[in-house]
Amino acid sequence: VEAAIPEPQRAAWIKHTPKPFSTPEEFEKDAIRHIETTLARSMYNCDELAAYSGTALAFRDRLIMSWNQTQQQHTFADQKRVYYLSLEFLMGRALDNAMLNVGQKDVAAKGLADLGFRIEDIINQEHDAALGNGGLGRLAACFLDSLASLDFPAWGYGLRYRYGIFKQEIIDGYQVEVPDYWLDFNPWEFPRHDVAVDIQFYGHVNRYQNDEGKTVSQWEGGEIVRAVAYDVPVPGYGTETTNNLRLWSSKAASGEFDFQKFNSGEYESSVADQQRAETISAVLYPNDNLDRGKELRLKQQYFWCAASLHDIVRRFKKGGHAWKDFPNQVAIQLNDTHPTLAIPELQRILVDVEGLEWDEAWIIVHKTFSYTNHTVLPEALEKWSVPLMQLLLPRHLQIIYDINLQFLQFVERTFPKEREVLSRVSIIEESQPKMVRMAYLAVIGSHKVNGVAELHSDLIKTTIFQDFVKIYGPDKFTNVTNGITPRRWLHQANPRLSALIASKLGSYDFLKDLTQLNKVENFVQDQEFRKEWREIKLANKARLAKHIKDTTGLEVDPKALFDIQVKRIHEYKRQQLNIFGVIHRWLALKALSPEERKATVPRVFIFGGKAAPGYWMAKTVIHLINQVGKVINADSDVGDLLKVVFVEDYNVSKAEIIVPASDISEHISTAGTEASGTSNMKFVLNGGLIIGTCDGANIEITREIGENNIFLFGNLAEDVEELRHGHLYGNYQLDEGLAKVFDEIRNGRFGDAQAFTALINAIVDHGDYYLVSDDFNSYCKTQELIDEAYKDQEEWLTKSITSVARMGFFSSDRCIEEYAETIWNLEPQKPKESAALDA
């Protein structure tokens, strides 16, 4: 308040407050000013990167104005906010999204054309913000878009990694990881050097009596690292609301370097301190659905949780409310268990720092937090070793022990006769060394726990959290099926389809209420509409074919059936099933006469995705795909009837090209392993059909679009356990077709057979945990059905249109409304002036 401009002088301020541009000329003025002054370039020195930078800065100015307005309004309204804590935000590019969300893309296109640039080229200059691995991180990004578009007072909190997920290069068929220098120029962030929090590590706990004779604990000594905030504006679509994503960056607490050390000649060690501090936010761990238990990762987690909570508590205290009101002002959503340390940290702040009694603090904590589980895979469930936590966070470990003690006493009172339950549900696993089970801590410290698709939410109740359902009752556990933002995944990625739909529905309102897509079904027999739909798909395939040609040199025919599997490479996602199927198809094709071959449907199999650098089996799958591609693509027997492509460095901006270009996409995880999947939703929303197992959200997609519009195959989740048991203890029978595929690989058809031994042995010798052989026949048969179905192009088109029309449920807006109502108890805060919806 002391920093406010005095009343009499405010008129001058208001007069000169920048006005957002709304014509091409005004846009050009802003962009050119930035190019000339912020970038110190001229018209003789303005390449596409400079034009991108100027454009981005002009849009950033617009966003920051609505950001200021939104934040002021939210502070003034003093109502509940939600904080989404996620170690990953896979945002992708920001410019196209910003232009569309503020409704000024046409203006910018015209302005850029006046200056001699094509807007697509300018958009392509931007580096993806790749601060995530896969589904979990992209979901967080879709949620931010929905939260802003629906005017919810919401902040994201994450880490500002200096290096995002590595860039993938394919060299001689192998994945090679290259660092991602995305921060070289990033116009979308605002450093807030005034928002810094000192974070403590190591040290010891002191217990003493305070003046009132109460025993209190104090965490003392150790090391301090500074967290500095970087803010990224998140614009809503068709609204003035611009929310904030706050990313923390680590710095040495002594500032640039320790001047005392410097002055005493210890220059090197003062620089080393600086570097050690910066290491905390240096890299994103490149594991998807896998926990590695590395010390630096625990440091990242605490650093980010502590900085975020400090910020949240500071904002709460400014409102002057009583502590018991904290859960009425603050909801904190834990995106998987990565931010679980926020639970003991809030308890520590309330008890040790603010002096609340343990029990009243715990009520506040428990009402504030809720937790989303994203996986049942055992290798992904986080556990931290007790000795490591004792060293790094001694006070938190005590608090966790106290939480556990209270919880176990409660369980004992409730189930006095079932003593074995106690060791099963204890937060501390009695192993060597002892481990802290983070998922249990998250369940105990939250008022709601949700899974991300119906099957998954049922599974967590009967497997990993079974005992907790008994203890707390079923109401604590709920489902919120994932969703995707139609702004990025339809409007931005597939502008022609979005425009076609808008032309029939009369407006772009469906982008804010995706259920309106159901009206598309009225046009399914409209010949003109069908023709355009088909042309758009073909054009999208041609765009992808061009990308493939430019990046790999391979020519593929856009008229062929495009069959796409893009996602992280993982044994449970079964890219190996797909590539074995390709080999099977190739063998079948070669066995046909040239005449018979002519009657078959040409297919292009397109793969993409990163393997975790230490995940050897996943890397072997990438190698096999590339080796198979090399052989098949050069085989004149099959020619254009079969092609295999691996698209390098799959990321969000590549997905925007790939997703609209599918005829079929593959979502073929072993039943019960894929929590939800979200790319399945993206592909169907863009008029592609899917082949999939009865897993994750595939099941709900089927329910919405109808069984006739999806190609399901394979064993059901309920049968998986028995099948696995049979593999180990019964008489294991390898599928015949698959056996022939393995023979080819073993015979060296695809290069050094040794390279693929482990992949085959996992199936034939080690129990085929992912049921590749069990599902192989059903998979191949279903692929044949797809060939047949594709021959009837009219029927295929009907399926495509009908499916899109029925996808309204899968908007992340629906998903966020569910969280707001059933978990956060959160109301939107409409901006005072709202922008009109606009392309």
* Residue ranges in contact with ligand 6GP by CB under 6 A: 134-136, 139, 288-289, 336, 374-375, 380, 452, 482, 674-678, 696
Closest approach, Cβ 212 to ligand 6GP, in A, equals 44
Give which of 46, 1, 86, 120 is closest to 656, Cα–Cα: 120
Bridge-based pairing of strands 603-608 and 642-647 is parallel
Residue 4, exposed/middle/buried by CB under 10 A (0-12, 13-18, 19+)? exposed
Closest approach, Cβ 452 to ligand 6GP, in A, equals 4
CA dist 385 and 9 (Å) reads 59
Closest approach, Cβ 137 to ligand 6GP, in A, equals 7
Q: Is 374 a catalytic residue?
A: yes
CA 202 from centre of chain: 32
Closest approach, Cβ 332 to ligand 6GP, in A, equals 18
CA dist 455 and 296 (Å) reads 34
CA dist 144 and 130 (Å) reads 15
Residue 821, exposed/middle/buried by CB under 10 A (0-12, 13-18, 19+)? exposed
- Which of 41, 138, 348, 374 is catalytic? The answer is 374
Q: Is 239 a catalytic residue?
A: no
CA dist 624 and 764 (Å) reads 17
HEC per residue, 792-834: CHHHHHHHHHHHHHCCHHHEHHHHHHHHHHHHHCCCCCCCCCC
Q: Is 678 a catalytic residue?
A: yes
Q: Is 573 a catalytic residue?
A: yes
Closest approach, Cβ 458 to ligand 6GP, in A, equals 15
Task: Give the DSSP H/E element, type plus range, for residue 327.
Answer: helix 326-329
CB 164 within 8 A of CB 129: yes
Closest approach, Cβ 619 to ligand 6GP, in A, equals 18
Which residue number has the CB closest to ligand 6GP? 135
3-state secondary structure of 354: coil
**Which residue in this structure is represented by tokens 């599928």?**
735
- Which of 568, 574, 643, 654 is catalytic? The answer is 568
| 95 or 569: CB nearest ligand 6GP | 569
CB 582 within 8 A of CB 727: no
CA dist 433 and 386 (Å) reads 7
Phi, then psi, of 166 in degrees rounded to 5: -60, 155
CB 642 within 8 A of CB 554: no
Task: Give the DSSP H/E element, type plus range, for residue 85.
Answer: strand 81-85
Neighbours of 193 (CB within 10 A): 9
| 312 or 452: CB nearest ligand 6GP | 452
Phi, then psi, of 508 in degrees rounded to 5: -90, 15
Maximal CA-CA distance, the chain: 95
CA dist 352 and 367 (Å) reads 19
C-alpha angle with apex 248: 242 to 252, nearest 5 degrees?
A: 150
| 74 or 570: CB nearest ligand 6GP | 570
Closest approach, Cβ 677 to ligand 6GP, in A, equals 5
CA dist 50 and 803 (Å) reads 42
Token pair of 173 as six digits: 């068929």
Q: Is 543 a catalytic residue?
A: no
**Which residue in this structure is represented by tokens 């008029």?**
687
| 88 or 240: CB nearest ligand 6GP | 88
- Which of 338, 573, 623, 727 is catalytic? The answer is 573
Q: Is 567 a catalytic residue?
A: yes
Please give the C-alpha separations between residue 689 and each of 132, 452, 545, 661, 710, in angstroms, as whole numbers.
Answer: 27, 22, 19, 11, 6
| 380 or 801: CB nearest ligand 6GP | 380
| 374 or 537: CB nearest ligand 6GP | 374
**Alpha-helical regions (H) of 393-526:** 394-414, 419-425, 438-444, 454-462, 466-472, 486, 495-505
636: which residues sit within 8 A by CB, 6+ positions away? Answer: none
Rg of the chain on CA atoms, in Å: 28
Closest approach, Cβ 136 to ligand 6GP, in A, equals 3
| 336 or 656: CB nearest ligand 6GP | 336
Rounded-to-5 percentages of helix, strand, coil across the chain: 55, 15, 30
Closest approach, Cβ 288 to ligand 6GP, in A, equals 5
Give which of 691, 561, 557, 665 is closest to 609, Cα–Cα: 665
Please give the C-alpha separations between residue 816 and each of 197, 285, 831, in angstroms, as whole numbers.
Answer: 30, 27, 18
Residue 266, exposed/middle/buried by CB under 10 A (0-12, 13-18, 19+)? middle
- Which of 678, 727, 782, 806 is catalytic? The answer is 678
* Active-site residue list: 374, 567-568, 573, 678, 682
